[in-house]
Copies of this chain bind each other. A is one copy, B any other.
Amino acid sequence: MSNRKPVITLENPTVEKAAEFIKEALSKRKAVILVGNCWVDYKGRASSKLEPGERIVMIKEDGSVLVHRPFGYEPVNWQPAGCLFQTSARGETLQVRASRKNPSESVKISFDKVFLLSSMSLIDRGEFSLHASESDMQRAILFDPSLLEEGFKPISYEKKVEPGFVDVYGVDREGRLVVVEIKRRTAGRDAALQLAKYVNFVKTVTHRELRGVLVAPRLAKGVQTLLTRLGLEFKSLEPKKCADILRRSETLKLVDFFEKKQP
């Protein structure tokens, strides 16, 4: 066992003790958790005021700050990574100010009571992998183009056109060009319009016959009508199915690898 002590905790510290503790921790690039009664002022891209209440404040080693109320997924106030901190005890209040430039903004958090104060150096090199993202769907279609339709042949992907990027670009069995727009969930009006934009652009640079296909698990209400009006098509495809196919393709590669290595 290691005798590393990654977390140091104070319960109900005075405002002065808390300020010292936080300064020390931040100077060592540790993360800090603060629980107590506080109020918050934010000025920057917008401005906000949060009246007093009991909250959880998290300061991370990269200089990001989160103020969490006891409910809800989102922090009520925050600041992204890269902040500089000023911590002080002024009379009965502990004040932590996090500021950054570009955009210039700052969050001032004031406590009149701290229930819990912890500092910690956390070691986290664990890999994070997410499956069934839009790019997984794209890769699955490139790996197995019949997911789109029999006879489809991809030419390129993430192809730059004037208005943006075409997800997948290819030729169908009849030799017609196909522009494919992929969405990982129910596709709305915006997806149809985005595809139309790309198709219209490609029309200006080619005289070949051209199809536009929107790939998504399903369409929002009214979007099929819009697609039809725009002369576009819809192909239903589940992101999970794509993730499965990719997983299988990885397995195949592994099998391949071992067959080569151990003949």
Counting chain B CB atoms within 10 Å of each CB, which of A33, A69, A126, A189 scores highest? A126
Taking CB atoms, residues of chain B closer than 8 Å to A129 are 48-50
A128 in contact with B9 (CB, 8 Å): no
Q: How far is the CA of A184 from the CA of B61 in the complex (A)?
A: 31
**How many subunits of this chain does the assembly comprise?**
2
Q: Are A53 and B6 CB-contacts (below 8 A) given A68-B60, A78-B73?
A: no
Q: Would you call A168 an interface residue if the criterion is a C-beta within 8 Å of the partner chain's C-beta atoms?
A: no
Taking CB atoms, residues of chain B closer than 8 Å to A49 are 128-129
Q: Are A131 and B47 CB-contacts (below 8 A) given A11-B7, A33-B33, A54-B6?
A: yes
A70 in contact with B66 (CB, 8 Å): no
Q: Would you call A120 an interface residue if the criterion is a C-beta within 8 Å of the partner chain's C-beta atoms?
A: yes
Q: How far is the CA of A118 from the CA of B34 in the complex (A)?
A: 12
Q: How far is the CA of A47 from the CA of B129 in the complex (A)?
A: 9
Q: Are A54 and B130 CB-contacts (below 8 A) given A60-B68, A68-B60?
A: no
Q: How far is the CA of A129 from the CA of B193 in the complex (A)?
A: 36
Contact partner, A130, options B6, B46, B71, Cβ 8 Å: B46
B56 in contact with A64 (CB, 8 Å): no
Closest to A6 in B: B115
Distance in angstroms from A149 CB to nearest chain B CB is 25
- Flag A96-132 by CB within 8 Å of B: 1 or 0 each: 0000000000000000000110101011111111111
Q: Would you call A20 an interface residue if the criterion is a C-beta within 8 Å of the partner chain's C-beta atoms?
A: no
Distance in angstroms from A120 CB to nearest chain B CB is 6
Taking CB atoms, residues of chain B closer than 8 Å to A185 are 45
